[in-house]
């Protein structure tokens, strides 16, 4: 830490705002103003409590901290304060709390049941305090990084929305031999034919899903007894998401009977959830090797496709609105909110399928979009890692901020 930095307690440096009378339940998604509650997420409301720049900390549950400089409101479970003296840059103080959130969550909350923040813990914290000029410069650097992260995440959200629209078009209009998206049926009716699923391209086939399966769907493994772990991993239901397969919720599969060997997964196998809530039942994804032998639970089924299609393409067919509506309509429940769908019903799902060559063109188009999204997601991760490292360096004084600003200015001039 720089020798020129003082160590100062937080309490004498802050002025606490009046306690709010607005419960979190007043949040309105259509509200015109930010509404800060005891949550990392910012809600909306149609009321304003202040336009004074302030830091807000959640007082119940998990530690959270926000900074606001425009008109806003905060809830009864939120503690709001501003700076008391000219030596404290509020944005810098906010960044210090942001960096220390894990410590605040671990040491600053207590109580049985719902945990509550000890305000005295915050008041008594002793934090580094450089000159106001240095505080302002550090806050500017971190604000710039935050703006870049927000911009990147907005791009990702837009790309995902475009992808969903494109997926709908690709699975209803397809791509012709010239690599072009077919025009709408209303614009080129000669390219389409009427079917039990509505208008589909003239070259496409329609039939039950079993027409494109190599064998019957197979349910996953349900061990009779828990025993010694044999080194096999079992997928959790959370591995199937709206975006496909994700290698999460893996857990050891216990030693069981000989059925375990019959449900071992191979890279490229198509999986589908057979039991879940009605909104999530039937989620599909292509299994990718996780680096160890892996099986799947009885809550899933495995679908192996015929040579006329592929698991990669079939997952998108199963995610299409046409198939999702059929799956949800045919799922049945016996208890609570969980419903199930059988392999027989899955085989009977009505499906419109392009020829293999067109499937490959559609997959190539989707892969290009996924590549762009992945590149932006990687950029977001890099920015977050950079921000984390800079917070540690700048907020402790290990790295001086002036050289960083000079370097950034030089890069902008060269650009």
The CATH number covering residue 97 comes to: 3.90.220.20
Confidence of residue 224 (pLDDT cuts 50, 70, 90): low
Crossing angle of the two packed helices 311-319 and 356-394, in degrees rounded to 10: 80
Please give the tally of structural domains in the chain: 3
Q: What's the CA gap between 131 and 129, in Å, rounded? A: 7
Q: Which residue has the higher pLDDT, 208 or 4?
A: 208
- Boundary (domain end) residue, out of 129, 156, 188: 129
Q: Which two tokens stand for residue 139?
A: 């806050």
Say which CATH number the domain at 392 has.
1.10.287.1120
Confidence of residue 257 (pLDDT cuts 50, 70, 90): low
Q: Give the β-pairing of 54-58 and 78-83.
A: antiparallel
310 and 409 both lie in a single domain: no
How does the average pLDDT of the chain come out, rounded? 90
Q: Write down the pLDDT at residue 338.
A: 86
**Cα torsion through 243, 249, 250, 255, rounded to 10:** -130
- Inform me whether the pLDDT recorded for 122 exceeds 60: yes
Asked if residue 323 and residue 335 are part of one domain, the reply reads yes
Pick the last residue of a domain from 129, 150, 175: 129
Q: Among 97-106, 329-338, 401-410, where is mean pLDDT lowest? A: 401-410
On the 0-12 / 13-18 / 19+ scale of CB atoms within 10 A, 283 is buried
Residue 4 exposure: Cα atoms within 13 Å on the Cβ side: 10
* Whole-number pLDDT of residue 279: 87
Phi and psi angles of residue 413, each rounded to the nearest 5 degrees, phi first: -65, -40
Q: Which domain holds residue 171?
A: 132-200+354-415
pLDDT value for 44: 97
What percentage of residues in the chain have a pLDDT greater than 70?
91
Domain boundary among 129, 146, 178: 129
Could you write out the DSSP letters of every residue in 160-175?
HHHHHHHHHHHHHT-B
d(CA 213, CA 308) in angstroms, rounded, equals: 9
Alpha-carbon distances of 414 from 46, 145, 147, 306, rounded to whole Å? 45, 20, 22, 56
336 & 374 share domain: no
Co-location of 363 and 253 in the same domain: no
**CA 200 – CA 214 distance, rounded (Å):** 24
DSSP three-state, residue 68 = strand
Q: Which residue has the tokens 């039937």?
A: 282
Shared domain for 125 and 220, answered yes or no, is no
Question: How many residues can be counted in the chain?
Answer: 415
- Please report, rounded to a whole number, the percentage of residues in the chain having pLDDT higher than 90: 75
Mean pLDDT (whole number) for 372-382: 94
Average pLDDT over residues 185-214: 95
Asked if residue 117 has pLDDT above 80, the reply is: yes
| Whether residue 315 sits in one domain with residue 241 | yes
What's the pLDDT score for residue 2? 47
Query: What is the rounded average pLDDT of the residues 22-43?
Result: 95
**Ranges assigned E (strand) in 214-372:** 218-219, 229-234, 240-241, 244-245, 251-254, 270-273, 275-277, 284-286, 294-295, 300-303, 332-335, 338-340, 350-353
Contact call for residues 394 and 401 (beta carbons, < 8 A)? yes
Residue 272 clears pLDDT 70, i.e. is over it: yes
pLDDT at residue 336 in the model: 59
The pLDDT value recorded for residue 3 is 52
**Bridge partners, 250 (sequence order):** none
Residues 20 and 91 in one domain: yes
Q: Which pLDDT score is estimated for 403?
A: 61
């Amino acid at each position: 830490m720089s020798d020129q930095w003082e160590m100062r307690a937080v309490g004498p440096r802050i002025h606490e705002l009046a306690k709010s009378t607005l419960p979190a339940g007043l949040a309105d998604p259509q509200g015109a103003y930010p509404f800060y509650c005891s949550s990392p997420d910012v809600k909306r409301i149609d009321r304003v409590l202040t336009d004074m720049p302030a830091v807000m900390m959640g007082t119940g549950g998990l530690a959270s901290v926000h900074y606001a400089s425009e008109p806003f409101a905060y809830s009864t479970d939120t503690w709001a304060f501003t700076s008391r003296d000219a030596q404290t840059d509020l944005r810098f103080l906010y960044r210090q709390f942001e960096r220390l959130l894990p410590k605040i969550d671990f040491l600053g909350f207590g109580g049985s049941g719902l945990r509550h923040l000890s305000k005295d813990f915050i008041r008594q914290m002793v934090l580094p305090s450089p000159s106001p000029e240095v505080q302002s410069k550090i806050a500017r650097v971190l604000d710039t990084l935050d703006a870049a992260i927000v911009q990147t995440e907005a791009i990702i959200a837009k790309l995902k929305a475009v992808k969903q629209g494109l997926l709908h078009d690709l699975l209803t209009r397809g791509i012709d031999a010239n690599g072009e998206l077919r025009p709408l049926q209303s614009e080129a009716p000669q390219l389409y034919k009427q079917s039990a699923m509505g208008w589909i391209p003239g070259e496409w086939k329609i039939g039950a899903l079993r027409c494109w399966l190599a064998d019957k769907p197979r349910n996953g493994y349900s061990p009779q007894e828990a025993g010694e772990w044999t080194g096999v991993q079992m997928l959790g239901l959370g591995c199937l998401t709206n975006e496909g397969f994700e290698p999460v919720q893996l857990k050891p599969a216990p030693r069981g009977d000989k059925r375990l060997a019959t449900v071992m997964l191979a890279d490229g196998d198509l999986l589908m959830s057979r039991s879940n809530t009605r909104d999530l039942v039937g989620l599909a994804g292509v299994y990718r090797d996780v680096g160890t032998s892996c099986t799947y639970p009885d809550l899933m089924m495995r679908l192996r496709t015929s040579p006329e299609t592929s698991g990669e393409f079939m997952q998108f067919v199963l995610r299409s609105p046409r198939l999702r509506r059929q799956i949800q309509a045919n799922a049945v429940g016996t208890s609570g909110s969980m419903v199930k769908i059988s392999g027989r019903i899955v085989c009977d799902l009505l499906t419109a399928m392009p020829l293999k060559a067109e499937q490959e063109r559609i997959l190539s188009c989707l892969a290009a979009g996924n590549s762009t999204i992945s590149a932006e997601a990687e950029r977001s991760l890099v920015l977050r890692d950079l921000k984390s490292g800079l917070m540690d360096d700048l907020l402790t004084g290990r790295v001086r901020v002036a050289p960083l600003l000079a370097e950034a200015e030089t890069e902008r001039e060269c650009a």
